[in-house]
């Protein structure tokens, strides 16, 4: 698992669901674990699992299923950062925000996006009780 | 409600059709089972009667043949015939009952299979219905969000005095991110 993993909440939900399905597929399948999980994961996630397995030096089906469950749990346990925007962000802005949090954020986290038109513009970041209000609405109030 | 479940009616009609068809099939099986059971019982009665007639005839003939024998021999012979007839009837009754039970079990198994397949079909239909509802709901929400996106510049214009295009909004956000980075907010207590 990446040391400084920053992931959107939607992506986290998708990945954990796929990991859980893949773990179940190992128990149900008669074939090897890599053949069992391959159809249920994206190429990137599959590589991530293979790399983690190699790093942990595990190869039995039970260990891989357990690894997938651990990885799901780690993703679900990531602290949540709430990001509120006045509009629905484009994919380009979403990517920029994920990159920004990877480099300048508080550490590994799940980004939960919300849209609130009352912000009028800018953004509000909420993390562990701390609120960084960079919204246009709050700027206007200060004028 | 109906706008969120556009195909609910057709799904419910399909479910009703599945149930009706299964009921018809179950009725056919039950009718066939009853007929078969009746047939088994009728045949066993006819057979019993035929055997009884034959035995009775044999007994009369034997009685005539040994008319010269002693009374004790005759009584013994009669007892033997009676015993064999009783045993035969008992065996026949058991066999008929076993045959009827086997047929009943087969009919029950078939009914069970129909019930299982019916449950599976209804489950699939219910799942489809939920998926359709979710798809429809997601579309409505996406439409609503798109409508709000369109209105967004008007809302901002109303408050700020001028409209801000989406690209400009994103630019503002990126600018703020730079500001936040410089304040190093995560390290502060």
In this predicted structure, the answer to whether residue B49 has a pLDDT above a threshold of 80 is no
More confident residue, B100 or A111: A111
Q: CA nearest A7: which of A79, A65, A59, A61?
A: A79
The residue in chain A having the minimum alpha-carbon distance to the alpha carbon of residue B173 is A122
Question: Domains in chain B: how many in total?
Answer: 1
Task: Please provide the DSSP assignment of B58-126 as one string.
Answer: HHHHHHHHTTTS-HHHHHHHHHHHHHHHHHHHHHHHHHHHHHHHHHHHHHHHHHHHHHHHHHHHHHHHH
User: Kindly report the CA angle at B86 between B81 and B91, in degrees rounded to 5?
Assistant: 125
Mean pLDDT, all residues of chain B: 77
List strand residue ranges (DSSP E) for A12-143, in order.
Answer: 80-85, 109-115, 122-127, 130-135
Among B148, B170, B186, select the one facing A93 at the smallest CB separation. B170
Q: In which region does residue A131 sit, left (phi positive, over 0), alpha (psi from -120 to 50) or beta (all else)?
A: beta
B185 CB neighbours in chain A (<8 A) are 130, 132
Mean pLDDT across the stretch B90-98?
A: 78
A104 CB neighbours in chain B (<8 A) are 177, 180-181
**Alpha carbon of B134: minimum distance to chain A alpha carbons (Å):** 17
Domain boundaries, position B107? 8-147
Q: CA nearest B180: which of A78, A97, A109, A67?
A: A97
In this predicted structure, the answer to whether residue B5 has a pLDDT above a threshold of 60 is no
Are the beta carbons of A134 and A99 closer than 8 angstroms? no
pLDDT of residue B23: 75
**Alpha carbon of B186: minimum distance to chain A alpha carbons (Å):** 6
Q: Do A86 and B159 touch (CB under 8 A)?
A: no
Instruction: Identify from A10, A101, A102, A104 which residue to disrupt to test chain B contact, counting B C-beta atoms within 10 A and taking the largest count.
Output: A104
Strands A6-8 and A80-85: unpaired
pTM score: 0.55
Output phi, psi for A3, to 5 deg: -70, -40
Decide if B179 is inside a domain.
Answer: no
- C-alpha to C-alpha distances, A79 to A7, B38, B55, nearest whole angstrom: 11, 73, 93
Decide if B53 is inside a domain.
Answer: yes
Instruction: Identify from B143, B173, B180, B181 which residue to disrupt to test chain A contact, counting A C-beta atoms within 10 A and taking the largest count.
Output: B173
Band (pLDDT 50/70/90 cuts) for residue A20 is: very high
Task: Say whether B4 sits in a helix, a strand or coil.
Answer: coil
What was the ipTM of the complex prediction?
A: 0.79
């Amino acid at each position: 698992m990446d040391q400084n993993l920053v992931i959107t909440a939607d992506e986290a939900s998708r990945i954990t669901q796929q990991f859980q399905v893949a773990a179940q597929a190992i128990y149900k399948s008669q074939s090897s674990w890599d053949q069992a999980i391959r159809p249920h994961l994206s190429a990137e996630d599959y590589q991530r699992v293979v790399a983690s397995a190699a790093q942990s030096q595990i190869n039995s089906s039970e260990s891989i299923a357990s690894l997938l469950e651990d990885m799901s749990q780690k993703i679900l346990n990531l602290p949540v950062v709430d990001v509120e925007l006045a509009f629905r962000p484009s994919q380009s802005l979403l990517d920029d925000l994920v990159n920004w949090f990877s480099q300048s954020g508080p550490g590994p986290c799940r980004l939960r996006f919300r849209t609130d038109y009352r912000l009028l513009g800018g953004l509000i970041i909420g993390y562990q009780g701390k609120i960084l209000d960079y919204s246009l609405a709050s700027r206007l109030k200060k004028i | 409600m109906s706008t969120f479940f556009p195909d609910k009616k057709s799904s419910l009609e399909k479910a009703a059709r599945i149930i009706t068809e299964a009921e018809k099939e179950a009725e056919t099986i039950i009718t066939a089972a009853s007929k078969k059971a009746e047939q088994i019982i009728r045949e066993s009665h006819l057979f019993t009667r035929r055997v009884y007639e034959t035995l009775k005839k044999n007994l009369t003939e034997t009685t005539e043949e040994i008319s010269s024998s002693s009374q004790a021999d005759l009584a013994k012979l009669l007892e033997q015939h009676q015993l064999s007839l009783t045993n035969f009837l008992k065996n026949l009754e058991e066999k008929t009952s076993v045959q009827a039970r086997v047929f009943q079990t087969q009919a029950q198994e078939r009914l069970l299979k129909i019930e299982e397949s019916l449950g599976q079909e209804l489950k699939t239909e219910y799942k489809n219905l939920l998926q359709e509802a979710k798809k429809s709901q997601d579309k409505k929400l996406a439409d609503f969000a798109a409508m709000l996106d369109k209105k967004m510049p008007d809302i901002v214009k109303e408050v700020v005095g001028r409209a801000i295009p989406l690209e400009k909004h994103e630019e503002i956000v990126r600018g703020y991110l730079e500001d936040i980075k410089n304040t190093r907010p995560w390290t502060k207590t």
